[in-house]
């Protein structure tokens, strides 16, 4: 009897092992979207299904990119935001199309809770600086008079009334500090709605949305060091359904020399109060279950500088990691429990200061 039972049990075990090994093996795809390289990883569904899910997710990602691009009108897709901007610049009062309404409502809410530090209404200012283009940045800042004129647009939460906006010639709505998080959240939600057992990691240029957990270990992500290329500042373990977004002064920028011969660094994270690149931080990372909020908050808290704890509390953000302009590291108590700082090149682990939220 043992000679019959043992091979049978072994066969069952091997089938079980192959099944779960196949479910653990991830499927990966990448594409250029939203001005960055987007990597998608899915597992937990079996090899062929994993890849089919990724193919569908890629199609949805490209469709949403077209929908949310502020300028690019593609004949093969619904360029809803670009068309809305075109009509606004003609002075029309435009009802926001239904597919954009939830995103617009979320963005207006974040404009309010950030006290205007996150503000999609500064699209004209972004274009004035040249940071709207993925191809070439300018070699010098715009004239201060032009900056002040671009700042005359009201805050986004004041502009949006009953899903409608009233246009003007210089108006341009730009969701560059929100769209990536919102789109990745939507793509992840669509996958999970059809495949609740899926585990996935969506990585848009270092900004991530994680759903589910790998059977062997949790998703763990690395935060780029803002000044040392090729090094990581920290690693963070993500919870199921959590997003991690970072804003930094090293991603989109140009350098120039002023009249006195002094080198100047101009990055794309603009302060809606001054119209100039925000000062005070090198990078800032936030964690939150809502990818759109995490994206918007990373921008708002970066702009806030030393006052970021008050803005974090107002926006409902409790996990923050910041590198100040002089290289000091700050974090909240929750982030301190979740993140591990990476040792310097000399093997010494840097120290971080815990900042309390109001």
* Predicted local confidence at residue 26, as pLDDT: 82
**Cα distance between residue 86 and residue 96, in whole Å:** 13
User: pLDDT per residue over 218-261, tens digit each?
Assistant: 888 999 999 998 899 999 999 999 999 999 999 888 888 776 77
**b vs e for 13-23, b when ≥16 Cβ sit within 10 Å of the residue's Cβ?**
eeeeeeeeeeb
The answer to pTM > 0.85 is yes
- Which class in CATH covers the domain with range 71-166? mainly alpha
**Cα distance between residue 332 and residue 353, in whole Å:** 8
Domains of the chain, by residue range, sit at: 71-166
User: pLDDT per residue over 119-159, tens digit each?
Assistant: 999 999 999 999 987 767 788 899 999 999 999 989 999 99
**Least confident stretch, 48-57, 115-124, 328-337:** 48-57
Predicted confidence (pLDDT) at residue 71 exceeds the cutoff of 70: yes
**What is the band of 187 on the pLDDT scale with cuts at 50, 70, 90?**
very high
Which residues does residue 141 pair with via DSSP β-bridges, in sequence order?
A: none
**Cα distance between residue 267 and residue 131, in whole Å:** 9
How many CB atoms sit inside 10 A of residue 111's CB? 25
* Predicted local confidence at residue 338, as pLDDT: 94
Is the sign of the CA dihedral 45, 49, 52, 56 positive or negative? negative
Which stretches does DSSP call E strand in the chain? 27-33, 36-43, 93-95, 164-166, 199-204, 207-211, 220-224, 232-237, 242-248, 253-257, 263-267, 281-288, 319-324, 329-331, 339-341, 352-354
CB 323 within 8 A of CB 282: yes
């Amino acid at each position: 009897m043992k000679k019959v039972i043992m091979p049978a049990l072994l066969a069952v075990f091997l089938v079980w092992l192959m099944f779960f090994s196949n479910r653990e093996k991830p499927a990966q795809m990448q594409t250029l979207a939203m001005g960055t390289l987007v990597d998608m990883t899915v597992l937990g569904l079996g090899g062929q299904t994993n890849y089919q899910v990724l193919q569908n997710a890629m199609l949805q990602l490209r469709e949403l990119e077209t929908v949310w691009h502020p300028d690019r009108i593609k004949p093969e897709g619904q360029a809803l935001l670009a068309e809305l901007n075109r009509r606004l610049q003609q002075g029309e009062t435009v009802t926001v199309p239904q597919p954009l309404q939830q995103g617009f409502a979320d963005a207006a809410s974040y404009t309010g809770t950030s006290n205007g530090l996150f503000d999609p209404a500064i699209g004209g200012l972004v274009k004035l600086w040249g940071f709207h283009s993925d191809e070439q940045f300018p070699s010098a800042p715009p004239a201060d008079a032009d900056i002040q004129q671009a700042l005359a647009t009201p805050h986004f939460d004041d502009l949006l009334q009953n899903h409608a906006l009233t246009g003007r010639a210089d108006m341009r709505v730009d969701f560059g500090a929100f769209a990536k998080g919102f789109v990745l959240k939507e793509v992840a939600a669509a996958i999970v709605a059809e495949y609740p057992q899926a585990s996935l990691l969506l990585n848009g240029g270092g900004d991530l949305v994680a759903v589910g957990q790998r059977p062997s270990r949790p998703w763990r992500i690395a935060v780029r060091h803002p000044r040392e290329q090729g090094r990581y500042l920290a690693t963070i373990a993500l919870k199921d359904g959590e997003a991690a977004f970072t804003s930094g002064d090293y991603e989109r920028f140009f350098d120039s020399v002023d009249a006195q011969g002094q080198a100047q660094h101009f990055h794309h994270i603009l302060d809606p109060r001054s119209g100039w690149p925000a000062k005070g931080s090198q990078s800032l990372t936030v964690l939150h279950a809502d990818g759109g909020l995490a994206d918007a908050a990373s921008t708002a808290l970066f702009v806030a500088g030393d006052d970021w704890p008050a803005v974090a509390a107002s926006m409902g953000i409790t996990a923050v990691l910041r590198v100040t302009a002089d290289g000091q590291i700050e974090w909240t108590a929750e982030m301190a429990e979740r993140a591990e700082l990476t040792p310097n090149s000399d093997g010494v682990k840097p120290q971080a200061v815990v900042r309390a939220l109001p």
